[in-house]
Amino acid sequence: MSADGAKPTTRFAMPALVWGLGFVSLLTDIASDMVVPLFPAILASVGGGALALGFLEGLAEGASGIHTGSISQWIYLNSYPGRAR
C-alpha cells in the first residue's frame, strides 16, 4: 500500500474480467483448432466424400467473405459522414 492508501499499480495490472475473457477466448480457440482437423473424418463417417467436403468448405469461405465484406463496407460508409452510398 502506498502512503495515500491506494494499491500500487503495475504495468501489467488488468481487471479480473479481462483475464477471464482472455482465458475463455484461449479455450475457445484451442477447441476450434482441435475440431477442424476432425471434420473430414466426421464427414466421411456419415457418407460424405471429397466433393461434399469441398462444397462445405467453399460455402463456409463464401459466407465468411460476404459477411466480412458487408461489415467493413458498413463501417467505412458510417465512419465518414457525407460519404456517397
Place of cell 483448432: 33
CA atoms of 41 and 53, how far apart (whole Å): 10
Per-residue pLDDT tens digits for 33-79: 888 888 888 888 998 888 988 998 899 888 877 766 777 777 777 77
- Give this prediction's pTM: 0.46
Q: For the chain, what are the domain ranges?
A: 16-79
Q: Residue 3: what pLDDT?
A: 57
What 3-state DSSP class applies to 47? Answer: coil
